[in-house]
Structure 1
Amino acid sequence: MADSDKQHVTLISSTIIYSVLILLVLFRSTPGYTQSSTTISGFIKNDILNEEERKWLNAHDGKIKLAPAPDWEPMEFFDENGEYQGMVADYIRLIEKKLKVKFKIVRIETWEKILVLAKTRKIDVLSAAQATAERKRFMNWSTPYLDLKTTIIVEKSQKKTFTLDQMKGMKIGVPAEYAVGKFIRDNYPELTLIDVLNGSEGMHKVSFGELDAMIMEVPNALHVIENEKITNLRLAGDTGFELNLGLGTRKDWPILAQIIEKSLASISKKEHKDIYAKWIRL
């Protein structure tokens, strides 16, 4: 090949390489392009997280401690094999799938102890709880993803419909440290509230006449009545208080709050409906 031809080929090759480099630079500077849309260096195609969030989450995969409420069927509970189950558990698994991460599920005996551990940052995530003023002091809170009405349960011989302002003088059970108890104490200080371990314990106490009424979430109440065959109780009124449940994350990890919020925003209406239909039968 003549020297002039070689020079011509070299010039063409250099021009092509230069053009490719220019295109790559332009592509990477295009608005909306992030490295998290690739599969390079641990990033995920079509990731809902940005690069900083993905790096943080990858570094904490399997280490983020989440403590479910231990006896809150059908919302969340541990079955006879110690497996985490329930409506909230299905949401947590869906969030894990969307984030491509695993939480470390920690089993704690009581809700009261869970809150103590969350305050001292020995627990990183609360899976489903009301963002009260007190809880906001030590945790960040997501947008609520579950809304639950609370109801008044009485023995069937009580025929009337109840509201909270009609219950003075009655012994009323509420699960210890639940948001509905704080609501009633703040707004109806004249009422006599008695803390119980959980809804099941409280409803059995009503059934045997140890309490006059129990206040709890509608799905939990229906589940206990059906599955524990408590045939002498009925739902007798609405408290007017609705639980708006979100995920709580430790205050010193604001990036985790951002990540959780993005995962919840990515849940479709169909996914919400499918989980609800699986666990709630009215």
Structure 2
Amino acid sequence: MNNILRQMVCSMFSYRLSLTMRTLNRQGIIKARWFLLPTLLLGTFCLADDVVDLAISDSERAWLAQHPVILHGVVDQAREHEPFEYYDDHGRYRGLTSDYFQILAEQLGLKFIEIKKQSLPAIGAALDSGEIDIASYLPLVDSRRIDREYSEPIIRMPIVLLGRVDAPLITSLFSIGSEIIAVEKYSYADRILQINHPDINIKYVDSTQDGLRALQKAEVDVFIHNAFSAEFFQRKMGLSPFKIVNTTPYTFDIHFTVNKNLAPLIPILQKVMAGLSEREERLLFDKWINIQVERQLDWRTVIFWGGLCLLVVLVVIGGILIWNRHLASEVAVRTVELENSSNELRDLARHMTRVREDEKSMLAREIHDELGHTLTALSMGMRRLEGLFKSGSMEQNVFAAEESGQAIGVPIENKFRELINLVKEASRTSRKIMSDLRPGVLEDLGLTAALEWLVHEFQTQCDIECTLFADDISAGISDDAATALFRIVQESLTNIAKHADATHITVSLKRETAAIVLCIVDDGKGLSRNWETKEGSFGLKGMRERTLALGGELHVEPAEDGGVSLRLQVPI
């Protein structure tokens, strides 16, 4: 599509959009939808790029090259032929035919120079004399003239009978009786009535505007004029809508008219006009009939709706700012929580590392001090027996030993019993070490039996009464879950022994719907202040990490009768 047509379409899109918004305000969404759809279509069309293929022959192109400049005659009288061609207040050539000439200039590469004349007869005389080359508003009065060439109509405007909304229907021009008929003087309608209906009583008006005002004031009953100009000025003047009481068989046609010497230009112009689609012609037409309307703004309405829109915008902005502030506060809290959690995880990791190192050190001490000592004594006894065997003393069934510088004979059977006791002590030590690392009863007999053993050992070592209520939940629980629950009970009992000063502990383990619930309650001195954030408090953190690893939940709170209640729930 050429540039001028694109500008027209985009201008129409802007107008249609504003018209849709006014319709939404005045008539509601249901009626506004009939404006919204054409608006969207115009927006789409505005972005399109149509290419017109002109079938211009080589001889026509050669003729255009020989006539690059065309003189165009225009009436220099303000607004007389509005909206088709006129000069605006800034002296610019405007109107529907002006857009046609811009399209012709772009498509054909011609330059049209406007030559101003005072009237249509003056333009006709200048055209006949060759002073100008083309005119666009000369009516076709006599098609038999040989000094002019006319194109097919570029604009065909129906002549109609306009009346007020409450006016009765007039069947035809021949049925007009006592009605007062207004006609613009020297207009095409005036010439038609003088030729074909001389008996109609006519009241002449000087312009289209005067005829519409007279019709609205009920000074006349009917105003006969072309429908396009009447609609344009009715919208422009802001008058109440009129009704077309009937049509006529006549049309006011606008042609391109050229001097006979430029007759080859007519078929070229008609090819360009034929290249415009019906949609493009409609858009060009609607630009001037429906858009070029100068209305006075209702400032009170503008201020009201503008203030309302501003208030809505301020409310939305205020809401966004409040929400952003709330989000910023939430982000700050979450950031602190994440930092604290990260610090706790680092501290827990360091603690677990220290615990592992302490366990390794303790294991090394036990192996060295107990198991190592026992194995060394066993090894020395075996070597002495080996020496006696080689010397032949074994036959005397006496083991020689020195005591206070004197040789004493010891029965060999006693020495064998000592060695056997050393082996048993080494075995007990190894079992104790392995039990500390992972109780064998947990693997052999299951979680319930392991907890019974743990409670018994705890009572024996710490002299604190401990009661266990446990269901048999061995079936359906994984080894990892059993180990985690055992270690949590073990850690809880250790913490109670160290910090609670308790005299009685209750441990319960039971199965609920799709979950295992572990409860540990003591009657000690309870939780200290800020116990959750206390530095170095890794026992509960470790238990919570074990619980989370199983997908469970752990809650610690004061018990009803004092002390502390720990409740843990993990899914099966």
TM-score range normalised by the length of the shorter chain: 0.5 to 0.7
1:175 touches 1:216 (CA, 8 Å); kept in 2?
no
Contact 2:71 2:115 in 1 (8 A): no
Number of the residue aligned with 1:256: 265
In structure 1, which of residues 78, 103, 118 is the aligned counterpart of residue 87 of structure 2?
78
- Structure 2: unaligned runs, 5 residues or longer: 1-52, 292-572
2:148 pairs with 1:160: no
Task: Say if 1:139 and 1:226 are closer, same or farther in 2 by CA, change over 3 A.
Answer: same
Does structure 1 residue 58 correspond to structure 2 residue 68? no
Q: Which residue of 2 aligns with 1:122?
A: 131
Local SS of the residue matching 2:230: helix
Structure 2 residue aligned with 1:203, among 212, 215, 236?
212
% same residue: 19
Contact 1:129 1:248 in 2 (8 A): yes
Q: Who wins on radius of gyration, i.e. which is larger?
A: 2
Matched ranges for 1:242-281 at <5 A: 242-281=251-290
| d(CA) in 1 for partners of 2:56, 2:139 | 26
Once the two structures are overlaid, the 10-residue window that deviates more, 62-71 or 72-81, is 62-71
1:87 maps to 96
**Per-residue deviation, 1:110:** 3.5
Which structure is higher in helix share? 2
Cα pair 1:92 1:127 within 8 Å, conserved: no
Partner of 1:31: none
Could you state the TM-score of these two structures normalised by the residue count of structure 1? 0.68
Is the contact between residue 75 and residue 86 of structure 1 (CA under 8 Å) also seen in structure 2?
yes
TM-score (norm 2): 0.36
What do residues 101-127 of structure 1 show as CA deviations (whole Å, max 9, x unaligned)?
Answer: 121123334434433443444332222
User: Is 1:176–1:198's contact at 8 Å kept on the other side of the alignment?
Assistant: no
CA distance in 1, matches of 2:166, 2:123: 35
| Residue matched to 2:183 | 173
CA contact (8 A) 1:62 1:104 kept: yes
Q: Which residue of the partner structure matches residue 188 of structure 1? A: 197
The aligned amino acid for 1:77 is Y
Q: Give the letter aligned to residue 176 of structure 1.
A: Y
Q: Distance in 2 between matches of 1:240 and 1:94?
A: 31
C-alpha offsets along residues 191-240 of structure 1, whole Å, 9 cap, x if unaligned? 24466554234334545666554322112101111212344865433223
Query: 1:142 offset after TM fit, Å?
Result: 1.1
Aligned-pair distance for 1:276? 2.6
Query: Measured at CA, do residues 62 and 193 of structure 1 come closer, stay the same or move farther in structure 2, by a change above 3 Å?
Result: farther
SS at match of 2:136: strand
Question: Residues 66 and 136 from structure 1, CA distance in 2 versus in 1: closer, same or farther, beyond 3 angstroms?
Answer: same
Q: Say what the alpha-carbon RMSD is for the aligned residues.
A: 3.3
Secondary structure, counterpart of 2:103 in structure 1: helix
CA contact (8 A) 1:129 1:244 kept: no
Q: State the distance in 1 between where 2:62 and 2:183 align.
A: 46
Cα separation, 1, equivalents of 2:284 and 2:155: 11
1:67 alignment partner in structure 2: 74
